[in-house]
């Protein structure tokens, strides 16, 4: 029974992490995150509950957000996602699922959420890549997922494309330099960039 449960856990993790970019651990740029997201929003985490999921019979974490600013997709005032629990104890074995993002109640995030899998899981696109912390720097709201924005804004096209996204007709006042090594970006600029990308997809 113990090994059957372990097999089921590993199968579910393999299933949710090998269903396109949605749960890829490979580096994804911002365009790829947006393309695979059904919903994008600024939200505040309001609840976290790790319980036995009646669908999969596995420990899963249900996280609910208050939607503060919808960016993509039709959203209600709150949105709940289901993820496989980051830490699962099965008898004497503890299984850790790396890169599954965790959310702190009361903390604000920008999240890129894919369409739920057949099992109902909807971890952010690219796992922790699709969950951007909102932090305060010099009394300004900034976003970060820990990666350099010069990489996040890169595309397969000419390097000038990322400047077009940031300095297009709708964003003439943006001062962010995509060529500098920066892991944070002003929240207002980030939202505008994402919305501009959305109009081009």
Q: Is the pLDDT of residue 200 over 80?
A: no
**Residue 194, pLDDT score:** 96
In the chain, the percentage of residues whose pLDDT exceeds 90 is: 54
Alpha carbon distance 110, 190 (integer Å): 10
Instruction: For residue 166, give both structure tokens.
Output: 């940031």
pTM > 0.85: yes or no? no
Give the CATH fold of the 2-146 domain: OB fold (Dihydrolipoamide Acetyltransferase, E2P) (2.40.50)
Q: Is the pLDDT of residue 3 over 60?
A: no
**Gap between the terminal Cα atoms of the chain:** 47
pLDDT tens for residues 61-71?
Answer: 999 999 999 99
Positive or negative: CA dihedral 201, 150, 171, 74: positive
Mean pLDDT of the chain: 79
- H or E element that contains 60: strand 59-72
In 3D space, the residue among 33, 21, 22, 25 whose CA is nearest the CA of residue 190 turns out to be: 33
- Residue 128 DSSP symbol: G
Alpha carbon distance 121, 71 (integer Å): 21
Phi, psi (rounded to 5 degrees) for 160: -70, -15
pLDDT tens for residues 149-171?
Answer: 988 998 743 334 444 344 433 33
Q: Is the pLDDT of residue 109 over 50?
A: yes
19 against 79, higher pLDDT: 79
Q: Is the pLDDT of residue 99 over 70?
A: yes
Q: Are strands 78-84 and 59-72 parallel, antiparallel or unpaired?
A: antiparallel
pLDDT tens for residues 37-90?
Answer: 999 999 999 999 999 999 888 889 999 999 999 999 999 999 999 998 876 666
H, E, C per residue of 79-110: EEEEEECCEEEECCEEEECCCCCCCCCCCEEE
């Amino acid at each position: 029974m113990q090994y059957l449960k372990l097999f089921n856990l590993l199968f579910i993790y393999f299933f949710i992490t090998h269903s396109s970019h949605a749960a890829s651990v490979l580096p994804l740029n911002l365009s790829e995150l947006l393309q695979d997201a059904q919903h994008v929003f600024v939200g505040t985490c309001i609840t976290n509950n790790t319980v036995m999921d009646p669908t999969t019979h596995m420990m899963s974490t249900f996280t609910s957000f208050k939607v503060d600013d919808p960016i993509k997709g039709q959203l209600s005032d709150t949105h709940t996602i289901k993820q496989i629990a980051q830490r699962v104890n099965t008898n004497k074995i503890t299984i850790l699922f790396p890169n599954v993002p965790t959310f702190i109640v009361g903390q604000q995030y920008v999240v890129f959420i894919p369409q739920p899998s057949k099992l109902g899981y909807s971890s952010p696109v690219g796992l922790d890549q699709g969950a951007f912390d909102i932090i305060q720097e010099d009394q300004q709201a900034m976003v970060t997922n820990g990666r350099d924005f010069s990489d996040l804004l890169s595309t397969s096209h000419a390097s000038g494309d990322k400047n077009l996204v940031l300095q297009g007709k709708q964003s003439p006042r943006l001062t962010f330099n995509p060529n500098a090594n920066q892991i944070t970006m002003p929240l207002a600029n980030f939202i505008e960039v994402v919305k501009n990308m959305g109009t081009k997809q």
